[in-house]
């Protein structure tokens, strides 16, 4: 067992009088810069240190992890000020997360831990059979990765663990980028992941994020049903998300578009394992859609699932313009009565703004149609109600 608690007991940090202690008592999990009394001892705490948080009246509120280098100064780990944050504590959180996923899915392929919503702040874990990919996106998780890995093996029985230390969130915590095996042998190739009848291939050591996106699973399933017997265009396809699901659901053919040759190669290999073939086109998605429209191409289902165009509030206006442009270029490619699926993974662009941008783009293309479904991330991506950031994914299904 790897213990996280030091001796003597955790130091104490204190909320400033202007901080909203009630919000934290009611479940808000963060303390921002400016809300903590930054005396010399608090300022000298190492990133990821554990401490007991007190309110301005010196009443204990719980155990937190502290990072003086981050805008999020404290993340609440446990509301019990006497909690011992060790491997056993982590194992309890993991077991609770596992119980939910096992009630949702028949096979061990899912997001096992979704950070604060699963009681492990800043920690993301995707499971792919006997392999798990951990993203330690907070300093405390980085410091204590061995304990998380030990608990993960105990609770789930996985034999291989990858640390994926990449992404914008880690930079905000002052963490460097690195990806490597933590336990077991590295896979000798991409890891096959069955989902919605399709087979995806995840590059867990060199791919984007953890190598695969589980969050669209339920949106893939609906698109697959709507695509039966039809012709499909999947733009920003990554390793074939919507396109391979559509083929599994009986689509006649699928054209997959992405700027990454490696991702398209994995999509092709996934289709081969399914006994199907896909057509791929590498290039700038906007240019490819313009070329397809110029050639008079139309499809029964068109899906655009781009990267986050608005990853922050500062990028919101430019991001909304990009989403509008996607909709304007994609709409003419949908046959009369067909389906257009437009997605956003930008937490800064809320549903209302994203939907309005899409509607403007569709209208500018001279098309019309209702939204027949609004999709979000699946239940293995739970949302802490206090953190709107966790509700990042939106998928709008239009019938044009």
The pLDDT tens digits of the residues spanning 275-312 come to: 999 999 999 999 999 999 999 999 999 999 999 998 88
| Torsion angle defined by CA atoms of residues 140, 144, 147 and 149, in that order, rounded to the nearest 10 degrees | 90
CB 62 within 8 A of CB 50: no
Q: Architecture of domain 87-183 in CATH? A: 2-Layer Sandwich (3.30)
Q: Clarify whether 343 is annotated catalytic.
A: no
- Cα separation, 396 vs 400, in Å, equals 12
Residues 99-126 pLDDT 10s: 999 999 999 999 999 999 999 999 999 9
CA atoms within 13 A on the CB side of 30: 21
DSSP annotation of 111 reads E
Catalytic pick among 74, 343, 345, 358 = 345
Return the pLDDT at 306.
96
Domain range 12-78, CATH architecture: Roll (2.30)
Could you tell me which of 152, 163, 27 has the C-alpha nearest to residue 90? 152
pLDDT at 5: 45
d(CA 345, CA 208): 14
In this prediction, residue 1 carries a pLDDT of 44
DSSP 349-367: S-HHHHHHHHHHHHHHTT-
- pLDDT beneath 50: ranges in the chain: 1-8
Please give the backbone phi and psi of residue 234, each rounded to the nearest 5 degrees, phi first. -115, 105
Q: Tell me which fold the domain 191-399 belongs to.
A: Rossmann fold (3.40.50)
Instruction: Give the side-chain half-sphere CA count within 13 A for 304.
Output: 26
The full set of domain ranges for the chain reads 12-78, 87-183, 191-399
Q: Please report the pLDDT score of residue 121 as a whole number.
A: 97
The pLDDT of residue 6: 43
Q: Give how far Cα 18 sits from Cα of 11, 27, 81, 148, 387, Å.
A: 22, 18, 22, 35, 21
pTM of the predicted model, to two decimals?
A: 0.94
């Amino acid at each position: 067992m790897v213990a996280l608690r030091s001796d003597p007991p955790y130091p104490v940090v204190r909320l400033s009088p202007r901080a909203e202690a009630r919000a934290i008592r009611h479940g808000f999990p963060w303390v921002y810069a400016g809300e903590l009394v930054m005396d010399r001892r608090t300022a000298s705490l190492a990133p990821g240190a554990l401490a007991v948080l007190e309110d301005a009246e010196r009443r204990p509120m719980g155990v937190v992890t502290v990072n003086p280098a981050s805008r999020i100064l404290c993340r609440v780990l446990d509301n019990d000020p006497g909690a011992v944050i060790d491997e056993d504590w982590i194992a309890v959180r993991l077991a609770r997360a596992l119980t939910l996923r096992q009630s949702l899915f028949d096979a061990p392929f899912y997001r096992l831990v979704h950070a604060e919503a699963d009681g492990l702040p800043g920690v993301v874990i995707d499971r792919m059979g006997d392999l798990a990919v951990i993203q330690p996106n907070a300093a405390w998780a980085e410091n204590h990765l061995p304990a998380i890995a030990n608990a993960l093996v105990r609770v789930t029985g996985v034999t291989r663990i990858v640390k994926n230390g990449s992404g914008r969130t880690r930079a905000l915590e002052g963490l460097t980028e690195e990806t490597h095996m933590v336990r077991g042998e590295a896979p000798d190739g991409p890891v096959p992941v069955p989902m919605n009848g399709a087979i995806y291939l995840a590059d867990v050591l060199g791919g984007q994020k953890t190598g695969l996106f589980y969050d669209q699973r339920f949106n893939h399933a609906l698109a697959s049903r709507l695509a039966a017997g039809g012709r499909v265009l999947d733009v920003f396809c990554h390793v074939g998300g919507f396109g391979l699901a559509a083929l599994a659901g009986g689509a006649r053919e699928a054209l997959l578009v992405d700027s990454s040759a490696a991702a398209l190669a994995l999509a092709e290999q996934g289709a081969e394992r399914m006994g199907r073939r896909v057509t791929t086109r590498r290039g700038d998605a906007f240019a490819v859609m313009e070329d397809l429209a110029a050639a008079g191409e139309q499809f029964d289902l068109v899906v655009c699932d781009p990267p986050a165009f608005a990853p922050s509030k500062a990028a919101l206006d430019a991001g909304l313009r990009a989403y509008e442009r996607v909709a304007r270029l994609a709409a003419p490619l949908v046959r009369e009565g067909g389906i257009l699926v437009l997605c956003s993974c930008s937490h800064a662009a809320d549903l209302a703004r994203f939907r309005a941008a899409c509607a403007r783009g569709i209208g500018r293309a001279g098309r019309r149609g209702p939204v027949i479904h609004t999709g979000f991330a699946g239940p293995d991506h739970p949302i802490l109600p206090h953190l709107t950031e966790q509700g990042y994914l939106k998928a709008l299904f239009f019938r044009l």
